[in-house]
Structure 1
Amino acid sequence: MSRVRPFNLFVYGTLMSPSVFRAVLGKRMVFVSSEADNVESFYARDAVLSNYKKITPDGTYLYAVPDPQGRIRGYVLGPLPGECMAALRQYEGRNYTKRTVEVQTREGSVGAVLFVANLKQLEHSFGYAFRDPLKQEILLEAKIEAALVETERQQIHSEDKLSRRALGELHGSKIRDLIRHHFEAGGISDYAIKRTLLDDPLRDYGRIVTEPRAQALANNYLSMVVRQVLFNQIEEMVHRDFRYELDHLSPGELFYERTISSVLALRLLNTQPRLLDVLVGDCLTDLDFSQDHLVDFVRWGVLAADAIYEPRQVKRELELVRSHMGRGYIPMGVELEFSNIGHEVIRDPDARQKCDPQYDGFVYFYDFGLDTLTWKLGGHVDDHRDKAVARPRRGFFELALGNLSIEANLSKPITDDPWLLNQFIHEARRFYEIRPHSLHLSMQMKSQHQPARDNLVPLYVLKCLFALAGDPGMEAGRLVIRRLSTEEIIRCERSVHMLFSDISKRHSASEDALLVDDRRDQQGRFVQQFKFLRLSASMNYEPIAMALKGIQINLRPGTFMTARQYQTSPRHRQLFEELLEWGVRPTELSQNEIENFLSTVHEGLMVERRGRPAHSGAYISWSLSELRKALGAFNRLVRTAAAGAAAQVS
């Protein structure tokens, strides 16, 4: 294949946008000649093309077609490196074809490449759906922006960009659903976009503004609102300005597209905790809960995000992420649970015995619009009964990155990289000023055949996993595994069951979710969710994710443990009782148990990708070494606790 020479490019449509130009080609478009280095940044010169005109027969895409009396104004840039041509061809699609033309600039005539309408293709099959999602996304955003203009006039009676961005935040989950529907259904009408936004009531806290309890907690909620808007806006700017780099780091369309940009935005904000505190404090000084509206606080957050966003800092963080990432093969996801009073928020939903002094169990979560403001991270209130109903109730604040819709129960995995997974867990934990509680780690099952849901794993595997992530610690003067010694994952109300792991199907498109029951088993992907892990600042989840991958691949564990399994299976019941007995009085793990556990993990990791390892031998060895250290630390904790107990007796 011959190498493409450097070339000038004439742009006249979506590529005239600097953000689109950068997203497609990874190069900057600048409008001051001294800022162009002709390597990473290129000067956009005004240019005119004769004998062509622009048409838009579908009201969406722009095409250049021959016209003896026509002219098109645009920009000419270049010479661009030859490797940009492949990206241009992919972006333009088969409804366009490449031509070499002469365009007129202030300095004179310049030869340039132009992508014009492929007339034969248009005549043969007009309406061909473009495969490039970026182009669809750009044009869809323009339609949504137009609908927001009208919504802004009707809902807040203003016409300024800042207010419109604030309005977009408060309609964020609806806009997300419109975009998802567009890509699932192959398009969405302008009317449907406009009606969806106009019919969505503007979120405000008017219902509770005179309620004494809400007044007492208002600043805590409004602080969370402003911080969330800062995150949303920073993430959006990262996603826009570094789209090219993010697309090249992405594992593909089967994964949530905002994972890396979310991690970057969280890292940027977490490095400036004092600045965040100052910004939030200034906002709460400038605005008042009883006199201003929720949209005013959101608008303040939008303005503050513009003031603190620094692309150079993003670039540094992006390089750090790029240098540390290590792709695997098994898609993974995670849910994080937060509660200032731990599991009491579930055990005592009416707050009669214990009350969260900061958020009262997030009972006003919906009044402050946090269900829509936290959509990028899958935020919702989970009372372990019904997470999809938007009504005031107490529960955990839960993040489920990759969740496309809480109501429709749609989600995508976020990564196949254990390092990136660990980064998201800890950056999210740092960002939210709420006590961390637990996490659920999901892994797509390697085999998508009907799983054996009753498969058991050996006791030594369970003991090692709980030693690693089950929160061993001192309670009432003795060592226990807290996740086994409380009612957090063990239920005994009507029948005994345990939330260690669960196998279910996950769906990423609403067309799956709407299928009738007898066809649902043909859709979606089987996922195993491990629910026993504590969310803690002191825990490195990278080697733990590697351990769970190895165990899942090697042993194919089933669900453990349902009430049916406890009632009907003596083997399940015996394993549960032996594990529970060890959990309330843990003893040291034997060397044989540790070695068998590590061997089980290693064997699974060595066949992760179609019978071969997905990670390097050095990385697998490092993971096993970290697991060995952590299990050794657990044994030392057991010995220390035993020595302390013996000293008390003597």
Structure 2
Amino acid sequence: MSEEKQLRRDSGSAGNLLKASCLLLPEKVRPSRSAAEIARIRDSFHYMHGDKVDLFVYGTMMNDQHVRLLLNRRVESEPAVLHNYMRVVPPGAFYFVVRQHGAATQGRLLKNLTPEEIARLDAFEDEGNLYFRRVVVVRNQENRRRRCMTYVGNIPALQRSFGKEILFEDRYSLYLEKKIDQILEKIDPDRRDVTRRALRELMGSAVDSLIESHFDGNYICNYVMIQAFNEAKPPLLANVLAIEELRPYADNYIKLACKHIIFNQFVELIRHQFPDAVRLSKKYFRHGLAVLLGFLYYNRHGERIEAMMKEKSLDRIVPGRLYRDYAVLCISLVEEIYCREEMRGLCEYVESHWYSTPTPLGAELEFSHLGVRAVAGEPGEDPYYDGFFWFNDFDLRRRTWRMGGHVDSHRSVVAGNERHRGFFEYAFGRFNIVGDLSRPLFDCPWGMSTLINEAVRFLDIPPHSLHISMELPRNKLSYNSLNPNKESDLVCLLMLGGDLRKDETGQLREWRIFNKELDTNLTGSLNFSSRKYHYSRPDQSEDEASEVMEYKFMRLRKEETDYSNIIIALKGYQFGTHARPISIPPKGESELPEQRFMREWAAHPKALTRAEIHSFLDTIERGIKEEYQAAELGKRARTGLDNIAFSLFEKNTWIERNTNAAGEKAHEPGPV
């Protein structure tokens, strides 16, 4: 017998002997207790005090923050031990207790819970399915017995979670979504699952905002939820179609809305069925990986989805059909196509290619049928979407919220439903457009490159430009305003990410700059890169916000492109030089020398020398080492640098061969 069991048995025997000896003593010799002490002992053995209940917890609810999230208050508690029950912790699954003679489970006793709080905990623990709430007896720190309640595991139901990684955040999200479903049933008594899913879709980011608010510790009552949902009702298509100028574009808009509904439903299925595959650190946008997987799955079935949309008339306006009817039909389409095992394979594919780096990333993608004229297009000039003027009429901000979808007029973001023309933009990680709130998407260059390509493939609107942003480390000099950018380094960046091609006369140009696509302000200044702050909460100060460097000069391409080269190069360049941003100068000041140089080079590109390219590569290597705080490059980083070198020398040779030699002479590059 183990020493622990022997001690437990001996102490029990000693206790029994003491109890027996006390009973045999004459009345006047027995230990006397005061009336107050007797009352306290009697009170401690009742698990209910009026309508209040004590609850023994032994898993995630031992965390005070988790309890506060659920109950919206700090609950008095104390350590306690539950004897003759064993706590079972399956790998990654829910904790539970089962009866086991001689076992003991350490936990905490939550005191004086109200019936409403117990009901809330029942909903969270899925009482009656995963767990059963039972009366038990525990001992507190003073070894006094206290009758209370606890949740005992329903093993057959819990076994379905074995082998999965299930965190409190996953369970809490599911609990909140169930609560939201109950609210939706009050709004619409149709209890079909497809109807509830359609309603959640039509609410857009309202559901996610409520969940995020809860995670931030802001308890939101049912009344506030109902108000939020009522304000997020979809448009009445009959009213929308009453606008005569809109009608020529209505079919394209409803098809675009339906594509995003289908995509969003794939994302929802992924998040619920594979939470461990899409989980990211809290500093990142929590839907980022699910968005990537959603694009991959949609595009894999793109032709079939297109045919089914046509078959169900989801690519055009159907007289009398409501917006909600379109949503229900989209969800039924998803149910026909979606295969859980196929999605599992995609999750494994992404996981096998995924790697993390120290630098959080973001991206903005612009699309338009008008190219650079998107922000200056005339009414009707865009024959497909009229410059996305009717974007909000079809509720596309709610359909595209996971991608930060909005119309970018290259002016301040217009709040509310005001119409304006511009680029259709995905601002990945920007989860609140009007409030200008964002989080980085993730930190994997391969993942970002894949996401960009899949988004272009999904949207089927001509791609225009790409912005890449990187979060700069705190407590370090992010850049030096007096530190200029080296001209040959800027040429290397343009060779990697710009748009070099010939004009109609055969003259080679860099079109993003030569075509004045980066001149986005009224003074016509070249906006190549900028430093800014990104806020993830509306109450954040500048000190709490993330400092970000955003590079804006890249061409977004229709063909498959490996953007990881330019992403790695930009990070290495920023950390290797700490050079100043090349942005809009303050009012009254002239452009920087770098801006004037790039205009000249874009009009008449010239090849670099071999030494200039190697100098740039040395800078990138130095920057990558600083990013990783490493003395040497790792294998992956070395491979990335080699790929950048190959691309640069190849593009440099191409520039030399294609430079219009009339009146100019290219630098002689060294041997590759």
TM-score, normalized by the shorter chain, greater than 0.5: yes
The superposition leaves residues 499-546 of structure 1 with CA deviations (integer Å, 9 ceiling, x where unpaired) of 11111111112221xxxxxxx332211011111111112431101111
Partner of 1:149: 185
In structure 1, the partner of 2:71 is none
Question: Equivalent residue for 2:498?
Answer: 470
In 1, distance between residues paired with 2:148 and 2:582?
74
Q: Quick one: which of 508, 526, 529 aligns to 1:501?
A: 529
The residue number in structure 1 matching 2:580 is 558
Alpha-carbon distance in 2 for matches of 1:65, 1:79:
17
Tell me which residue corresponds to 2:412: 386
Q: Deviations over 1:449-474 (max 9, x none)?
A: 57544542111111111111111111
Alpha-carbon distance in 2 for matches of 1:439, 1:187: 38
SS of the residue aligned with 2:659?
helix
Match for 1:626 among 640, 643, 647? 643
Determine which of 323, 340, 346 is the counterpart of 1:311.
Answer: 340
Residue 419 in structure 1 maps to residue 479 in structure 2: no
Q: Is the 8 A contact 2:134 2:150 kept in 1?
A: no
CA offsets 1:120-142 (integer angstroms, 9 cap, x no match)? xxxxxxxxxxxx32332222112
Partner in structure 1 of residue 615 of structure 2: 596
Q: Please name the residue that 2:216 is paired with.
A: 184
2:659 — aligned with what?
642
Aligned to 2:25: none
Provide Cα deviations, 1:358-403, integer angstroms capped at 9, x if missing partner: 1111111111111101111111111111334232221111111211
How far the C-alpha of 1:76 sits from its partner, in A, is 1.1
2:516 counterpart SS class: coil
Q: Which structure 2 residues correspond to residues 237-252 of structure 1 after superposition, within 5 A? A: 237-247=269-279, 250=280, 252=281
Q: CA deviation at 1:272?
A: 1.7
Alignment partner, residue 81 of structure 2: none
Asked whether the 8 Å contact 1:231–1:269 carries over to 2, the reply is: yes
8 Å CA contact retained: 2:204, 2:232: no
Match 1:61 to one of 121, 134, 145:
121
CA shift, 1:496, in A, is: 4.2
Q: Which has the higher contact order (CA 8 A, sep 6+)?
A: 1
- The count of corresponding residues between Structure 1 and Structure 2 is 544
Query: For the structure 1 residues 54 and 189, does the alpha-carbon distance in structure 2 shift closer, same or farther, using more than 3 Å as the test?
Result: closer
Q: Deviations over 1:309-353 (max 9, x none)?
A: 1111111111111111121101111111111111111133x337x
Q: Structure 2: how far apart are the matches of 1:622 and 1:265?
A: 29
Q: How does 1:472-621 map to 2 (within 5 A)?
A: 472-476=500-504, 477-491=506-520, 493=522, 495-512=523-540, 520-536=541-557, 537-564=559-586, 568=589, 573-611=592-630, 617-621=634-638
The alignment partner of 2:653 has SS state of helix
Cα shift readout 1:222-260 (whole Å, capped 9, x = no counterpart): 21112111110011101110112333xx3x111112111
Verify: 1:136 aligned to 2:172, yes or no: yes
The 1:190–1:450 alpha-carbon spacing in structure 2 relative to 1, beyond 3 Å, is: farther
Ranges in structure 1 where 5+ consecutive residues have no aligned partner: 1-10, 16-38, 92-131, 513-519
Q: Check the 8 A contact 1:378/1:404 in 2, yes or no.
A: yes
Q: 1:411 Cα shift? A: 0.7
On the 8 A contact 1:448/1:525 being kept in 2, the answer is no
Offset of 1:638 from its aligned partner? 1.9
Instruction: Tell me how far apart the structure 2 counterparts of residues 272 and 204 of structure 1 sit (CA, whole Å).
Output: 30
Classify the secondary structure of the residue corresponding to 2:466: strand
Map 1:123-522 to 2 at 5 A: 132-153=168-189, 158-247=190-279, 250=280, 252-284=281-313, 288-348=317-377, 350-351=378-379, 355-389=381-415, 390-448=417-475, 451=478, 452-453=480-481, 455-476=483-504, 477-491=506-520, 493=522, 495-512=523-540, 520-522=541-543
- The residue that corresponds to 2:84 in the other structure is none
Alpha-carbon distance in structure 2 between the residues aligned to 1:145 and 1:343? 44
| CA–CA distance in structure 1, aligned partners of residues 463 and 236 of structure 2 | 28
Q: Decide whether the 8 Å contact of 1:446 with 1:553 is kept in 2.
A: no
Q: CA deviation at 1:163?
A: 2.2
Give 3-state SS (helix, strand or coil) of 2:582's partner. Answer: coil
Q: 1:621/1:357 Cα in 2 relative to 1: closer, same or farther (>3 Å)?
A: same
1:186 counterpart letter in structure 2: N
Q: Is the 8 A contact 1:464 1:597 kept in 2?
A: yes
The alignment yields a C-alpha RMSD, in angstroms, of 3.6
One-letter amino acid matched to 1:314:
M
Structure 2 letter corresponding to 1:621: R
SS of corresponding position for 1:265 = helix
> Equivalents in 1 of 2:401, 2:638: separation in Å?
37
Amino acid at match of 2:544: Q
Kindly provide the amino acid, as one letter, of the partner of residue 586 in structure 2. Answer: R
- TM superposition shift of 1:71: 11
Distance 2:148 2:542 in 1: 59
Give structure 2 stretches of 5+ with no counterpart.
Answer: 1-56, 62-89, 101-112, 126-132, 137-146, 664-672
In the alignment, the residues of structure 1 paired with residue 329 and residue 60 of structure 2 have an alpha-carbon distance, to the nearest angstrom, of 31
- Equivalent residues of 1:204, 1:368 under 8 A apart: no
Measured in 1, the distance between the counterparts of 2:534 and 2:442 equals 15
Q: Residues 587 and 216 of structure 1: is their aligned pair in 2 closer, same or farther, counting only changes over 3 Å?
A: same
Looking at structure 1, the residues matched to 532 and 382 of structure 2 have their Cα atoms a distance apart, in angstroms, of 32
Distance of 2:411 and 2:254 partners within structure 1:
27
Task: Name the CA distance, whole Å, in 1 between partners of 2:562 and 2:232.
Answer: 42
The answer on whether the counterparts of 1:345 and 1:396 sit within 8 Å (CA) in structure 2 is yes
Secondary structure at the aligned position of 1:202 is classed as: coil
Counterpart code for 1:378: G
Amino acid at match of 2:383: P
Aligned residue for 1:411, secondary structure, equals: coil
Paired amino acid for 2:155: V
3-state SS in 1 of match to 2:369: coil
Cα distance change of structure 1 residues 637 and 521 upon mapping to structure 2, 3 Å threshold: same
> Which residue of structure 2 aligns with residue 109 of structure 1?
none
Matched residue SS, 2:321: coil
What is the distance in 1 between the residues matched to 2:149 and 2:444? Answer: 52
Give the counterpart letter for 1:164 in structure 2. Answer: R
Distance 2:646 2:659 in 1: 20
Q: Assess, with a 3 A threshold, how the Cα gap between structure 1 residues 206 and 387 changes in structure 2: closer, same or farther.
A: farther
CA contact (8 A) 1:12 1:74 kept: no
Question: Which of structures 1 and 2 has the bigger CA Rg?
Answer: 2
The answer (yes or no) to whether the contact 1:441–1:530 under 8 Å persists in 2 is yes
Q: Name the CA distance, whole Å, in 2 between partners of 1:370 and 1:563.
A: 35
- Contact 2:363–2:466 (Cα < 8 Å) also in 1: yes
Deviation at 1:48, TM superposition (A): 11
